[in-house]
């Protein structure tokens, strides 16, 4: 592969991940990695995310405070997706010399606000010179062995549960890029979409609810990850890791009115592929799912795990639900 | 300050660190941070470093393998500087789409080689698009409570010990930037300087030696950090954190022949301020120091901690030894 595909553009992201896999220990594959370091019956997990100016944020759509909030929230969401509680975070920042002090202080303020709200403490960092503003955050958390959520634990028959509505973040981004789009919308609708884009919320409330419901189970039964790369991607990845297919109940999958208005015919695509909603996508036994959605008002059952298509397992697992 | 100094260039690195300090927990200040997470009598420590193309490495002086090695080594050296053993590392990489597959694979190979040699496992990562090649590594380690090395533990009368000769890394960099300089040198001398620049070695051997000598002590007595930012900077930082001054025995401070040849009159400056030698700079009771240098052939005593200058503590602590 390396002799033919000479640049990353040709290789693609999945190709790159396959290429680098041999250098990593075999725990890689979930939102966060289990470090093999235990305190009592708790596992330590770790996750890292890099945000780059012009790729993951821009002055056009994201204030300094929102950049900092986002840098914290995306990492905390990865911890939540493992069922873990946040502990400490470190942040490395690359900055051009002409960066304003107001900007970097705003970033730290937003970062700190998110930690104050959702937990975790900033324990260290590094600041270096760089031609492009870059933030790299690593977050650690802890989770009881019996409550670890992984991608590879879904079983045929499981209910597919989301902790909230998808599509808002994409709608918010479009509204920030093209403010004129808001002219046909109630202000309260566009504001909510923008807020959800700018201030993603790590769903530790959903994890706490789930753990109350499952605390008497001896072994973990929940598969899941967050929907940062899109609801469709999350379902496909869990299906692939677990060797199951997925059947989506399209009538149960809500499309927010703001998405209907902005996306028109492409509304369902925004819900499935818009990304950055940072909800949790969970596969769990139906009985637990009913208790969960009863206890967490924003959550809903949107489908079921089914046997993979024996004639074409690659399609029914890899591309999951697209074929139902 | 924020109203007057509007850019980071005007604020300076120390100003930036002071600005951001309020957002961090109070454990920040050593090479690595103590996370407040214990397993038995061991503390967990964490460190993070970002490397940027054109700032910390370049194709002119650094192969892909060397970039990867360095990314691992600088973080492992921070763990060694705390007295800690490496556990796991995560790496976030930002890459332009035209990055060659050979380059990124070389980086991971070099990273892996360093871990294989000095310990630690790659447990996770993130790869994102970026206009500039950027690596951000976070490393975790563990250290027994009684063996933590911090900057603020030096006491008047302590011996100042270095684990090896300084100046090679600067000489190696100059030779890579100006290969013609090598024409007056024995090839073996220039090769050794270049090797030390390209493949810094985290001094876990020095830590193991020190811990064998100090294992029966009840409380940690050793102050220290690594010399990544220069020997002079390390001595000044330890003095400042501990409230002591430093008296250097210039005759005991070796200047490698390659530095003498290349730097001429500036040879001592290269030794003190060249940076990137990644040795450890340790302050310890004289009796321990004698045992340590007897057991570790590369180590030497180069001075002594003295009372700060009462007439000008800021100078004698902050700028340390420059006044002796």
A295 contacts: CB under 8 Å, gap ≥ 6:
A209, A212, A213
Q: Nearest-CA residue of chain A relative to B23?
A: A112
φ, ψ for residue B260, nearest 5 deg: -55, -45
Q: Which of A140, A136, A19 is nearest to B93 (CA)?
A: A136
Cβ atoms of A224 and A151 within 8 Å: the answer is yes
Is A254 inside a domain boundary?
Answer: yes
A290 among annotated binding-site residues: no
Helix (H, G, I), strand (E, B) or coil at A266: helix
* HSE value, Cβ hemisphere, 13 Å, CA-based, for B294: 8
More confident residue, A7 or A169: A169
Tokens of residue A172, six digits: 């918010």
Eight-class DSSP state of B320:
G
Q: Which helix (H) or strand (E) holds B20?
A: helix B13-20
Is A1 inside a domain boundary?
Answer: no
Q: Of all residues in chain B, what percent carry a pLDDT higher than 70? A: 91
Confidence grade of residue A168 (pLDDT, cut at 50, 70, 90): very high
Question: For residue A33, what pLDDT is reported?
Answer: 79
Q: Of all residues in chain B, what percent carry a pLDDT higher than 90? A: 75
CATH number, position A94:
3.30.1330.10
Tokens of residue A247, six digits: 């059947």
Inform me whether the pLDDT recorded for B198 exceeds 90.
yes
Q: Which of B75, B87, B215 is nearest to B144 (CA)?
A: B215
Average pLDDT over residues B285-294: 95
CA dihedral B96, B114, A82, A94 (to 10 degrees): -40
Cβ of B98 and A128 within 8 Å?
no
Is B5 inside a domain boundary?
Answer: no
If you write DSSP's letter for every residue of B253-272 in order, what string do you get? Answer: S---HHHHHHHGGGHHHHHH
Å between A19 CA and nearest CA of chain B? 8
Burial class (CB in 10 A: 0-12, 13-18, 19+), A277: buried
Q: What residues in A contact B50, CB-CB < 8 Å?
A: 92-94, 126, 128, 130, 134, 136
Domain interval for residue B166: 149-323
Inform me whether the pLDDT recorded for B28 exceeds 60.
no
> Alpha-carbon distance A248 to A304, whole Å?
7
Confidence grade of residue A165 (pLDDT, cut at 50, 70, 90): very high
Confidence grade of residue A106 (pLDDT, cut at 50, 70, 90): very high
For residue A139, CA distances in Å to A46, A77, A169, A237 come to 6, 10, 23, 22
Residue A160 and residue A297 in one domain: yes
Inform me whether the pLDDT recorded for B319 exceeds 50.
no
Q: What residues in B contact A50, CB-CB < 8 Å?
A: 92-94, 126, 128, 130, 134, 136
Å between A298 CA and nearest CA of chain B? 30
Residue B165 and residue B131 in one domain: no
Cβ of A38 and B35 within 8 Å?
no
Is B23 inside a domain boundary?
Answer: no
Q: Nearest-CA residue of chain B relative to A93?
A: B50
Nearest-CB residue to A94 (from B16, B28, B50): B50
Nearest-CB residue to B101 (from A5, A23, A123): A5
Structural domain ending residue among the three candidates A124, A145, A166:
A145
Average pLDDT over residues A223-229: 96
Q: Nearest-CA residue of chain B relative to A29?
A: B124
Question: Strand B42-52 and strand A245-248: pairing?
Answer: unpaired
- pLDDT tens per residue across span B207-261: 999 999 988 776 668 999 999 999 999 999 999 999 999 999 999 999 999 999 9
Distance of CA A186 to the CA centre of its chain: 28
> Alpha-carbon distance A74 to A286, whole Å?
29
More confident residue, A299 or B18: A299
Residue B111 and residue B203 in one domain: no
B12 contacts: CB under 8 Å, gap ≥ 6:
none
Nearest-CB residue to A49 (from B33, B98, B126): B126
B73 contacts: CB under 8 Å, gap ≥ 6:
B114, B118, B199, B200, B201, B202, B278
A49 among annotated binding-site residues: yes
Tokens of residue A272, six digits: 């499935």
Question: For residue A188, what pLDDT is reported?
Answer: 94
- pLDDT tens per residue across span A183-196: 989 999 999 999 99
Eight-class DSSP state of A234:
H
Cβ of A6 and B108 within 8 Å?
no
Residue A115 and residue A241 in one domain: no
Q: Looking up tokens 């041999």, which residue turns up?
A: A22
Structural domain ending residue among the three candidates B75, B110, B144:
B144
Residue A82 and residue A187 in one domain: no
Residue B115 and residue B207 in one domain: no
Residue A67 and residue A111 in one domain: yes
More confident residue, B311 or B271: B271
Q: What residues in A contact B34, CB-CB < 8 Å?
A: 123
* HSE value, Cβ hemisphere, 13 Å, CA-based, for A154: 35
Cβ atoms of B313 and B184 within 8 Å: the answer is no
Inform me whether the pLDDT recorded for B282 exceeds 90.
yes
Inform me whether the pLDDT recorded for A324 exceeds 80.
no
A151 among annotated binding-site residues: yes
Is B193 inside a domain boundary?
Answer: yes
Q: Which helix (H) or strand (E) holds A243?
A: none
Q: Is B308 left (phi over 0), alpha (psi -120 to 50) or beta?
A: beta
Which of B2, B124, B134, B142 to mutate: most A Cβ within 10 Å? Answer: B124
Question: For residue B5, what pLDDT is reported?
Answer: 58
Helix (H, G, I), strand (E, B) or coil at A173: helix
Q: Nearest-CA residue of chain B relative to A50?
A: B92
Cβ atoms of A276 and A170 within 8 Å: the answer is yes
Residue B105 and residue B177 in one domain: no
> Alpha-carbon distance B106 to B295, whole Å?
36
Nearest-CB residue to B130 (from A55, A92, A100): A55
Residue B55 and residue B199 in one domain: no
Question: For residue B1, what pLDDT is reported?
Answer: 44
Question: For residue A321, what pLDDT is reported?
Answer: 52
Question: For residue A315, what pLDDT is reported?
Answer: 41
- pLDDT tens per residue across span B116-152: 999 999 998 889 999 999 999 999 999 998 899 999 9
- pLDDT tens per residue across span A117-164: 999 999 988 999 999 999 999 999 999 988 899 999 999 999 999 999
Residue B139 and residue B44 in one domain: yes
Eight-class DSSP state of A286:
H
CATH number, position B291:
3.90.650.10
> Alpha-carbon distance A307 to B17, whole Å?
55
Q: Which of A157, A166, A153 is nearest to A232 (CA)?
A: A166
Domain count for chain A, please give it: 2
> Alpha-carbon distance B268 to B286, whole Å?
25
Inform me whether the pLDDT recorded for A28 exceeds 70.
no
Is B175 inside a domain boundary?
Answer: yes
> Alpha-carbon distance B302 to B304, whole Å?
7
Question: For residue A317, what pLDDT is reported?
Answer: 39
Inform me whether the pLDDT recorded for B309 exceeds 90.
no
Mean of per-residue pLDDT scores for chain A: 89
Is B9 inside a domain boundary?
Answer: no
Cβ of B127 and A19 within 8 Å?
no
Question: Strand B85-95 and strand B134-144: pairing?
Answer: antiparallel
Cβ atoms of B45 and B82 within 8 Å: the answer is yes
Confidence grade of residue B316 (pLDDT, cut at 50, 70, 90): very low
Question: For residue A26, what pLDDT is reported?
Answer: 58
> Alpha-carbon distance A198 to A185, whole Å?
19
Mean of per-residue pLDDT scores for chain B: 89
A56 among annotated binding-site residues: yes
- Tally the residues of chain B: 324
Cβ of A24 and B123 within 8 Å?
yes
More confident residue, B310 or A268: A268
Residue B61 and residue B154 in one domain: no
Residue A101 and residue A154 in one domain: no
Is A300 inside a domain boundary?
Answer: yes
Average pLDDT over residues A100-129: 94
Average pLDDT over residues A238-261: 95
Å between B296 CA and nearest CA of chain A? 31
> Alpha-carbon distance A63 to A60, whole Å?
8
Q: Nearest-CA residue of chain A relative to B17?
A: A127
Q: Nearest-CA residue of chain A relative to B40?
A: A39
Question: For residue A5, what pLDDT is reported?
Answer: 58
Helices in chain B by DSSP H: which ranges? 8-11, 13-20, 64-81, 101-118, 168-177, 187-198, 204-214, 231-242, 257-263, 267-273, 286-295, 313
- pLDDT tens per residue across span A266-289: 999 999 999 999 999 999 999 999
Structural domain ending residue among the three candidates B123, B144, B165:
B144
Q: Which of A37, A27, A24 is nearest to B121 (CA)?
A: A24
- pLDDT tens per residue across span B81-121: 999 999 999 999 999 999 999 999 999 999 999 999 999 99
């Amino acid at each position: 592969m390396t002799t033919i595909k000479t640049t990353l553009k040709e290789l693609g992201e999945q190709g790159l991940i396959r290429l680098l896999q041999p250098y990593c220990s075999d725990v890689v594959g979930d939102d966060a990695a289990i470090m093999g370091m235990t305190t009592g019956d708790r596992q330590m997990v770790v996750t890292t995310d890099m945000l780059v100016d012009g790729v993951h944020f821009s002055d056009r759509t994201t204030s300094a405070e929102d950049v900092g909030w986002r840098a914290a929230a995306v990492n905390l969401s990865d911890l939540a997706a493992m069922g873990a509680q946040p502990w400490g975070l470190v942040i490395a920042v690359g900055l051009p010399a002409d960066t304003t002090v107001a900007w970097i202080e705003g970033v730290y303020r937003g970062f700190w606000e998110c930690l104050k709200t959702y937990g975790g403490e900033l324990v260290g960092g590094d600041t270096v010179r760089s031609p492009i503003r870059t933030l790299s955050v690593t977050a650690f958390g802890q989770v009881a062995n019996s409550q670890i959520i992984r991608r590879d634990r879904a079983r045929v028959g499981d209910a597919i549960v989301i902790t909230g509505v998808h599509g808002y973040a994409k709608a918010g981004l479009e509204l920030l890029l093209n403010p004129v789009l808001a002219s046909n919308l109630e202000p309260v609708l566009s504001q909510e979409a923008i807020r959800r884009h700018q201030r993603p919320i790590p769903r530790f409330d959903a994890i706490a609810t789930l753990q109350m419901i499952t605390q008497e189970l001896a072994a973990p039964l929940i598969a899941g990850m967050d929907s940062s790369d899109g609801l469709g991607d999350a379902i496909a990845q869990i299906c692939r890791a677990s060797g199951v297919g997925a059947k989506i109940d399209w009538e149960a999958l809500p499309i927010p009115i703001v998405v209907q208005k902005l996306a028109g015919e492409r509304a369902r695509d925004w819900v499935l592929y818009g990304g950055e909603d940072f909800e949790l996508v969970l596969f769990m036994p139906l009985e637990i799912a009913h208790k969960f959605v009863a206890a967490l008002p924003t959550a809903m059952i949107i489908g079921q795990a089914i046997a993979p298509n024996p004639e074409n397992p690659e399609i029914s697992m890899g591309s999951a639900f697209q074929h139902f």
